[in-house]
A and B are shown apart, each in its own frame.
Chain A
Amino acid sequence: MKKIFRQLRARLKKNPFRKDDSVQLLSQKKINRRNFIAFAGFAGFNVLAWLSWRWLYKSPLEKPGITGEAKRPLRKALEQNEIIFKNTFSNDHLVKTYPKSMAAKNVRVNSDIGMEDKNFDSSTWLLTANKKDGRQLKISLNELMALPKTEIVFDFKCVEGWDQISYWGGVKFSDFIEHYQLQEEAKLSYVGLATPDQGYYVGIEMPGAMHPQTLLAYEVNGKLLPPEHGQPLRLIIPVKYGIKNLKRIGSIYFSDQRPRDYWAEQGYDYYSGL
């Protein structure tokens, strides 16, 4: 090992990158030549850097689809990052949890997209789960509340940059899958969730949804969700930014294709994993 290192260093010393720094005589002609080459290279680099920047900055937006509004090369970069950083995802990597006493009493409300329908009645609400064979499960809040309850106090992180420690309670998504025998569905790559009016919708890759800290939450600070926090049921997925934590879940479906996603259509990263 040491030998290899020494050889490598010896080569580096010989290569043109490395020159000894003693004083040398050089004719004016040669000095001029070196300056010319160096400054031409420098100017070339600057032109190239500027052109690359213009190319990137003026590159066209992607075609609107599952994702939209991002410059094409940048969307590619986001998706490449997803492929790279998905490898670091593990069910053993848990979000840090806090004592209940640290949870905010006033939980921040940042958005009511998909909850504008004033006639929505949470007492008659049923969760629709779409099975692979086309059948639909209609599940009431009482049924969900009869399942084992999981609580979490964690640092909720918004894509805008703020974070807040908050305390949620509900059914683990993986428990939900097991109880309603959706194991076949859970073999698909994605799960899609949407509000009853389809005004807000998210897509989540299955490993993230099945993470042990992902909840279908019906409680905040030990009480049933108030309307502004997504009454009666919302998604709490601590391995994602807040934009994926859909409020007022109306329906759930499963797919091998990416489900549509409200913020991914507006230039944000589809994955948005933390």
Chain B
Amino acid sequence: MSPAANKLGVVPAPVITATALTKKYKDFAAVDGISFEVAPGESFGLLGPNGAGKSTTMRMVGAVSTRTGGDLRILGLDPDEHGPEIRSQLGVVPQADNLDQELRVRDNLIVYGRYFGIPRAVVAKRADELLEFAQLADRAKAKVDDLSGGMKRRLTIARALVNDPRILLLDEPTTGLDPQARHVLWDRLFRLKEQGTTLLLTTHYMDEAEQLCDRLVVVDKGAIMAEGSPAELIRAHSSREVLEVRFGSDRNAMVAEQIAGVGDRIEVLPDRILVYSADGEAELAHLLREGHAPITSLVRRSSLEDVFLRLTGRTLIE
């Protein structure tokens, strides 16, 4: 899919261009020749399991880790030569919080703003706005250690925004958070997206990718398996609906053999059987007619999880 053209029909230059991007540690290729482009204002995701090379990619895009092969341009600049220039335009939310626990909440923002040469008075005002945005205004003087996981995450995001970045890099932004904290965070990220901030995020949560990404690549073992919008990927690699049936872990495999041919395709997982079909209810009715009575059954829409399973033969969270 090409980035949206503006009124004059001019396609804006991509803010990130990776071409056959590679990172090798000795013989091991953590990132093995991936190519993608991110347009300004776009929300782009790297979806894949742990160890797929997502974080390494983010560190290269973040102009911290040096690539060992291929080409990379951020805002048209080569990170090998223009690391500080590129980083001055980025906001980075790493996978593990790296807030300064010696400093209070608000001071974390102020100290960080200074790295971008923002005058103290300006950064102080900006810190207050960002605390408001991150819903932490009443915690300004708190110690970082006293914040909940979700609050720390929001503070990390606020810190990443202190320089008003052109691109925000988010590495697994909601991993380890409870569902409520995740939703609060998604809401904040959605607002940034609405304001036109370019987001590059990695996740192994399909619902997060579906919520936040305009477009994404599915990565596995350092390579791109597929690319498109969540809807496109589901259309291309899965059926409209999925019927999930459970016959008990000792019987699933056996039943799966008996019902082979039902639906478009069948996947057997240790705990359940997935029947891919345009009409899940119809398949369920068919199974019941054939005398297969599952312990539980569920019909749902196809998700990116199914796309991943189809492409790699594995589930995202193992």
Partners in one complex: no
Residues of A within 8 A of B (CB): none
Residues of B within 8 A of A (CB): none
